[in-house]
């Protein structure tokens, strides 16, 4: 035998030796963890009917803790959407009330959050857009898949296709509870690790009107996250920033997860001081307390001066957007409505679309870009678009409806440049381009 062959056969021997215990563990894992007799019944059938569901569950912390199919699906007394399923009374929808059997704290915090109320958008302009301007199915498969539908039960475990399947964050369930815990904890693994991943939030927090995932991905935080994914320890039971991981924050780190000073919260609004959603941003109630909670997160990785200055930069950006663009634009719209130059029907006039995009898309991007350190969203997807459409579409459209109406806006310090720059200023700009590009 050559030396090579000897090593090879020794390797094969070692391999076989190692395989024995591996095989024993595998057979143990393939067997179900001990479960209740009712839970075992579910497994007996579902192992062949929905094998993937059973496998997902088997790998979960629930299975290890003997939380079985029946622990979750067993009918709650007050729930109208339950049925007799081979002698076992179950519900298909495992609502937050069901999870609350064991996770009362998380369910209560979630119930008090904006997330739980996300299906309440009937009175909004966005709803007119979805339901009327676009049409019903657009709202069902668009708006409601993020915000949540009102689920209607048809009996025998069946639901109305107009609002089911749905995992929107504020889904209104047949038992009156709000939300879907599976919106973040994908079934049937129900893992914390998944919920800590930015992509998880990105199903909904994306696109032209709230591009948080895009902003995050281009930020230093997103870059560090990708570069250090292996060190993020996402699977850890506790996930305390600075203790269990240190490389980068994810959405969950800043908005939900624990620090050494504060516990996990399922109220995602608890650390936010401004609301960036409306046409004009306002500070929330108790904003100082909320901001302090967020600063506590940052302080694990940054010095006080860095964080304080970040918040100064952020406040100045929101003030700029509010004072220079949002307030004058809002006031002009109100004048045009009051004077009958615009009808009260939303979206029937060009100018209403122009205004909507300025605040609802571009103005949000400008503010959100700064809030989460994505400079391209602050600038090119944000303030650039706001300025372009404010000066070239919004103001001219207002002038057309009521000549002279924009004069007072253009006379303010913010907008005076439009009447002409000083020769010294112009000279500087022209010289810059001449020197740099020879043109
Ligand atoms: C005797 C076999 C059997 C037993 C026992 C059983 N199931 Fe089922 N289950 C089925 C079959 C068959 C379906 C239908 C699958 C389909 O529609 O493709 C089903 C469907 C379901 C559905 C989906 C219903 C829907 O319409 O969306 C759920 C949820 C469910 N089972 C949960 C359970 C749970 C929890 C248990 C134990 C408490 C259980 N099942 C016990 C056979 C069984
Ligand atoms: C931790 C709670 C929990 C456990 C444990 C659990 N489920 Fe579920 N199950 C859910 C949730 C939540 C949904 C999704 C319904 C919803 O959106 O609320 C669901 C949905 C289902 C569906 C419908 C899925 C579809 O896509 O049609 C089936 C079938 C089902 N479960 C079977 C099982 C079986 C079988 C087991 C045991 C292996 C099990 N479940 C264990 C919570 C649970
Ligand atoms: C891709 C998922 C998604 C879709 C589709 C979607 N939204 Fe939203 N919507 C969100 C998110 C996420 C927010 C919160 C953004 C934030 O806080 O920055 C939001 C915010 C809102 C708000 C503001 C809520 C408040 O408290 O101020 C309204 C109203 C709204 N959406 C209605 C709608 C309507 C109506 C539609 C369909 C025309 C729709 N949305 C489509 C994800 C979505
Ligand atoms: C917006 C996304 C989101 C939703 C919706 C959500 N969770 Fe969580 N959940 C998380 C995140 C992120 C973590 C991990 C926190 C951490 O870093 O430890 C978590 C962790 C948990 C844990 C582990 C213990 C803990 O508190 O850390 C439980 C239990 C839990 N969630 C239950 C629920 C229940 C019940 C619901 C529905 C009422 C729910 N979650 C809805 C994101 C969510
Ligand atoms: C019968 C009790 C029970 C029910 C019902 C239940 N859970 Fe749990 N859950 C547990 C236990 C026990 C653990 C802890 C396992 C551990 O510590 O390892 C757990 C852990 C978790 C975790 C953390 C998993 C991880 O990766 O760290 C999440 C998330 C979670 N549950 C979500 C849910 C959701 C969502 C529901 C409803 C759809 C639900 N649970 C229903 C008992 C339950
Ligand atoms: C299934 C869709 C969906 C998912 C997934 C989701 N969100 Fe949201 N989120 C929304 C909607 C819709 C709103 C707006 C609710 C409203 O005000 O009507 C919102 C609002 C928020 C707000 C503003 C809350 C406030 O009180 O002002 C924050 C912060 C937030 N989400 C963070 C997160 C984080 C972090 C995650 C992931 C761990 C996440 N969301 C996952 C849909 C989602
Ligand atoms: C480094 C921490 C950090 C990370 C990472 C982070 N955020 Fe934020 N987020 C903030 C701060 C700071 C604000 C502004 C808070 C304020 O107004 O005081 C904010 C604001 C928000 C808002 C409120 C917007 C509104 O309409 O008022 C939402 C929604 C949000 N973040 C979601 C997310 C999502 C989703 C992710 C991941 C894709 C994420 N955040 C990542 C720190 C973070
Ligand atoms: C888990 C650690 C961690 C947390 C928590 C964290 N950051 Fe960072 N932050 C970093 C890292 C790492 C960098 C990148 C440093 C570098 O390489 O330049 C960074 C960069 C930054 C930058 C510079 C962005 C740029 O483009 O240069 C700002 C501003 C910032 N963080 C603010 C914050 C704020 C505000 C918070 C809290 C809302 C926060 N960070 C939370 C780790 C963190």
Q: What percent of the chain has pLDDT over 70?
A: 92
Q: Is the CB of 258 under 6 A from ligand 8?
A: no
Q: Mutation test of ligand 2: which of 42, 55, 72, 194 has the most ligand atoms closer than 8 Å to its C-beta? A: 72
Q: In whole angstroms, what is the distance from residue 87 CA to residue 37 CA?
A: 13
Predicted pLDDT of residue 1: 42
The ligand with the least distance to the CA atom of 110 is 4
Closest to 328 (Cα-Cα) out of 229, 207, 415, 425: 415
CA of 103 to the centre of ligand 4 (A): 9
For the chain, the straight-line distance linking the first and the last C-alpha, in angstroms and rounded, comes to: 78
Q: In whole angstroms, what is the distance from residue 66 CA to residue 72 CA?
A: 11
Closest to 274 (Cα-Cα) out of 317, 303, 307, 334: 317
CB-CB contact of 179 with 119 (8 Å): no
Q: How confident is the model over 284-296, as pLDDT tens digits?
A: 999 999 999 999 9
Cis amide leading into 256 (omega within 30): no
Q: How confident is the model over 243-276, as pLDDT tens digits?
A: 999 999 999 999 999 999 999 999 999 999 999 9
Q: Is 423 exposed, middle or buried (0-12, 13-18, 19+ CB in 10 A)?
A: exposed
Q: How confident is the model over 365-402, as pLDDT tens digits?
A: 999 999 999 999 999 999 999 999 999 999 999 999 99
Tokens of 328: 């004058």
| CA-nearest residue, atom 3 of ligand 6 | 204
CA of 79 to the centre of ligand 6 (A): 26
pLDDT(23) > 90: no
Residues in Cβ contact with 188 at an 8 Å cutoff, skipping those fewer than 6 apart: 53, 56, 57, 60
Predicted pLDDT of residue 272: 98
Predicted pLDDT of residue 30: 47
Q: In whole angstroms, what is the distance from residue 251 CA to residue 253 CA?
A: 6
pLDDT(5) > 70: no
Closest to 336 (Cα-Cα) out of 408, 403, 400, 398: 398
Q: Is the CB of 73 under 6 A from ligand 1?
A: yes
Torsional class of 124: left (φ above 0), alpha (ψ -120 to 50), beta (otherwise): beta
Q: Is 361 exposed, middle or buried (0-12, 13-18, 19+ CB in 10 A)?
A: buried
Q: Is the CB of 189 under 6 A from ligand 2?
A: no
Lining ligand 5 with CB less than 6 A are 61-62, 64-65, 67, 71-72, 94, 98-99, 101-103, 181, 185, 190-193, 237
For residues 82-88, give the mean pLDDT: 97
Tokens of 96: 């937050």
CB-CB contact of 175 with 97 (8 Å): yes
Please, which pLDDT band fits residue 16 given cuts at 50, 70 and 90?
very low
Lining ligand 6 with CB less than 6 A are 113-115, 117-118, 146-147, 168-169, 183-184, 195, 200-201, 203-205, 251-252, 255-256, 268-269, 272
Q: How confident is the model over 86-142, as pLDDT tens digits?
A: 999 999 999 999 999 999 999 999 999 999 999 999 889 999 999 999 999 999 999
Closest to 385 (Cα-Cα) out of 414, 416, 363, 410: 363
For residues 402-414, give the mean pLDDT: 97
pLDDT(20) > 70: no
Least confident of 179-183, 220-224, 235-239, 424-428: 424-428
| CA-nearest residue, atom 37 of ligand 8 | 298
Residues in Cβ contact with 337 at an 8 Å cutoff, skipping those fewer than 6 apart: 344
Tokens of 136: 């019903």
CA geometry: angle at 201 spanning 196 and 207, to 5°?
A: 150
């Amino acid at each position: 035998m050559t030396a090579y062959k000897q090593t090879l056969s020794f390797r094969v021997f070692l391999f076989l030796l190692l395989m024995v215990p591996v095989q024993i563990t595998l057979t143990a894992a393939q067997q179900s963890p001990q479960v209740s007799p009712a839970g075992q019944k579910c497994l007996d059938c579902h192992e062949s009917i929905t094998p993937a569901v059973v496998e997902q569950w088997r790998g979960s912390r629930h299975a290890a803790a003997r939380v079985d199919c029946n622990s979750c699906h067993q009918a709650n007394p007050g729930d109208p959407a339950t049925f007799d399923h081979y002698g076992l009374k179950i519900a298909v929808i495992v609502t937050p009330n069901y999870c609350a059997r064991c996770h009362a704290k998380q369910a209560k915090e979630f119930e008090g959050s904006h997330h739980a109320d996300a299906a309440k958008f009937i009175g909004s302009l966005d709803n007119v857009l979805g339901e009327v301007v676009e049409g019903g199915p657009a709202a069902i498969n668009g708006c409601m898949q993020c915000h949540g539908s009102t689920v209607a039960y048809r009996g025998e475990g069946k639901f109305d296709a107009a609002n089911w399947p749905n995992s929107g964050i504020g889904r209104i369930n047949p038992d009156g509870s709000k939300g879907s815990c599976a919106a973040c904890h994908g079934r049937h693994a129900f893992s914390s690790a998944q919920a800590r991943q930015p992509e998880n939030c990105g199903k909904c927090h994306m696109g032209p009107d709230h591009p948080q995932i895009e902003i995050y991905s281009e930020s230093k935080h997103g870059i560090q996250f990708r570069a250090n994914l292996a060190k993020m320890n996402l699977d850890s039971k506790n996930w305390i920033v600075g203790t269990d991981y240190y490389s980068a924050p994810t959405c969950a780190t800043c908005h939900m997860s624990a620090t050494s000073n504060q516990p996990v919260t399922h109220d995602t609004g608890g650390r936010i001081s401004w609301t960036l959603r409306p046409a004009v941003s306002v500070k929330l109630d108790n904003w100082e307390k909320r901001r302090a909670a967020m600063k506590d997160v940052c302080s694990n990785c940054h010095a006080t001066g860095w964080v304080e200055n970040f918040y100064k930069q952020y406040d100045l950006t929101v003030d700029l957007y509010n004072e220079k663009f949002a307030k004058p634009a809002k006031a002009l719209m109100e004048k045009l409505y009051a004077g009958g130059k615009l009808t009260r029907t939303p979206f029937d006039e060009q100018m209403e679309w122009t205004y909507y995009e300025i605040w609802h898309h571009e103005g949000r991007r400008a503010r959100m870009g700064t809030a989460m350190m994505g400079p391209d969203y602050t600038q090119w997807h944000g303030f650039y678009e706001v300025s372009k459409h404010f000066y070239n579409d919004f103001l001219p459209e207002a002038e057309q409806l009521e000549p002279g109406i924009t004069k007072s806006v253009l006379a303010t310090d913010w907008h005076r440049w439009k009447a002409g720059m000083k020769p010294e200023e112009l000279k500087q700009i022209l010289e810059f381009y001449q020197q740099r590009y020879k043109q």
